[in-house]
Amino acid sequence: MALIACAFAVQGDTPLLAPLAGAADAPPPAPWAVVLLPNQTKPQSRFTSAVVDGRAVLRVAADNSYATLVHPLPPGPPRGHVLAWRWRVDQPLPKADLREKAGDDTAIKVCALFDEPLDKVPLGERLWLKAASSLAGADTPAATVCYVWDAHLPAGTVLPSPFTRRVRYLVLHSEDVPTATWASERRNLDADFLQLFGDEAKVVPPLVGVMLGADADNTHGHSVAYVGDLVLER
Tell me: the pLDDT tens digits for 45-87?
Answer: 999 999 999 999 999 999 999 999 999 998 766 678 999 999 9
Q: Please report the pLDDT score of residue 10 as a whole number.
A: 36
CATH number at residue 195: 2.60.120
Cα-to-chain-centroid distance, residue 111: 3
Q: 7 pLDDT band (50/70/90 cuts)?
A: very low
CA–CA gap between residue 141 and residue 147 (Å, rounded): 16
CB count within 10 Å of CB 105 equals: 27
Residue 176 falls inside a structural domain? yes
Tally the domains of the chain. 1
Residue 14 falls inside a structural domain? no
pLDDT exceeds 90 at position 116 = no
Q: Please report the pLDDT score of residue 145 as a whole number.
A: 98
DSSP secondary structure letter of residue 101: G
- For strands 143-149 and 167-173, give the pairing: parallel
Q: For residue 118, give the 3-state DSSP assignment.
A: helix
Q: Please report the pLDDT score of residue 23 as a whole number.
A: 82
Residue 4 falls inside a structural domain? no
Could you tell me what percentage of the chain is helix, strand and coil, using 3-state DSSP and rounding each to the nearest 5? 10, 40, 50
Inter-CA distances, 52 with 83, 206, 231, Å: 22, 34, 18
What's the predicted TM-score (pTM) here?
0.89
Q: What is the mean pLDDT of the chain?
A: 89
Tell me: the pLDDT tens digits for 136-188?
Answer: 656 778 899 999 999 899 999 999 999 999 999 999 999 889 999 999 999 99
pLDDT exceeds 80 at position 112 = yes
Q: Please report the pLDDT score of residue 134 as a whole number.
A: 66
Residue 16 falls inside a structural domain? no
Residue of 45, 27, 22 lying closest to 225 (CA atoms): 45
CA–CA gap between residue 166 and residue 201 (Å, rounded): 13
Q: Which residues contact 184 (CB under 8 A, 6 or more apart)?
A: 84, 85, 86
Q: 130 pLDDT band (50/70/90 cuts)?
A: confident
Residue 8 falls inside a structural domain? no
Residue 118 falls inside a structural domain? yes
Tell me: the pLDDT tens digits for 182-194?
Answer: 999 999 999 999 9
Residue 25 falls inside a structural domain? no
* Structural domain containing residue 182: 33-233
Residue 3 falls inside a structural domain? no
Q: Please report the pLDDT score of residue 90 as a whole number.
A: 97
Q: For residue 37, give the 3-state DSSP assignment.
A: coil
CA–CA gap between residue 206 and residue 190 (Å, rounded): 10
